[in-house]
A and B are shown apart, each in its own frame.
Chain A
Amino acid sequence: MQVTVNEKLILLDLMGKDRETLLGKMADNLCENGFVKNTYKDAILAREKIFPTGLPTQPYGVAIPHTDIEHVNTPAISIARFKEPVEFTIMGEKDVTVPVKLAFMLAMKEKHTQLDMLQKLMAVLQNEDALNFLAAEQNSVSIKTFIQEKLDLKG
């Protein structure tokens, strides 16, 4: 199934007092746009506590919050740039954190699929030029186009 990235799912300079608030805003937005069920937000917040998703990438830390497929209607990726970096626990760690500037919230609908798209997404996260672009670009349509090209998604 096609994964959607559109400008409504790109939240630039998102503000919130903590990690939960920011993730909650991203999840609410996915829900308002019909991509996920109203159970998704709580599931995302609960998952992040048990299975943290911060990645110590350069030059900015990123996070890839996601949760079980039953909370999703249609596959999509929401991208948020935080106004101020916020601490996320690093994936696979208990109490080591990384300041996160960019979050890629994944709403996946099928297990064991989307390999190609996920590999391309990981390549973006490992690419300093790409993260620098995403950290600075002011136009959400340009960001949408950039991500669609990098992940080989149709518009």
Chain B
Amino acid sequence: MAEKLVLVACGTGIATSTVVCKRVEELLKENHVSAKVIQCKISEVGSYEDQATLLVTTTIPPREYKMPLVKALNYLTNMNTEKTDKEILDVLK
């Protein structure tokens, strides 16, 4: 089976996705989940649609994608982060 691919996307690919990307990488490491994490702009998600296992985002996607989506605003406000952790792990485990 191909390696799992997690996309972390925000509007510009520079600010919030940087922070969320790090958080997701740490979460996967702590839980011994092997997956590649790529940071991108939401407008670039379409080009990864056939390979990606999961999309984690802080913004509104312009359309529906094939892969499941987890909203990551909680990582920025540091509220209810366990819920977001679980949503991500549930998709990848």
A→B interface (CB under 8 Å): 47, 50-51, 55-57, 64, 66-69, 90-94, 106, 108, 110-115, 118-119, 122, 125-126
Answer whether residue B77 sits at the interface, using C-beta atoms and an 8 A cutoff.
yes
Question: Could you tell me the dominant secondary structure of chain B's interface residues?
Answer: mixed
Contacting pair B77 A126 (CB below 8 A) = yes
- List 6 A–B pairs whose Cβ atoms lie within 8 Å, in order of A's numbering: A68-B14, A106-B15, A111-B13, A118-B18, A122-B76, A126-B77
For A69, what are the chain B residues with a Cβ–Cβ distance below 8 Å? 12, 14
Kindly state the separation between the CA atoms of A94 and B77 in the bound complex, as whole angstroms: 18
Cβ-defined partner of A115 (8 Å) among B18, B42, B58, B77? B18
Answer whether residue B57 sits at the interface, using C-beta atoms and an 8 A cutoff.
yes
For A57, what are the chain B residues with a Cβ–Cβ distance below 8 Å? 77
Contacting pair A108 B10 (CB below 8 A) = no
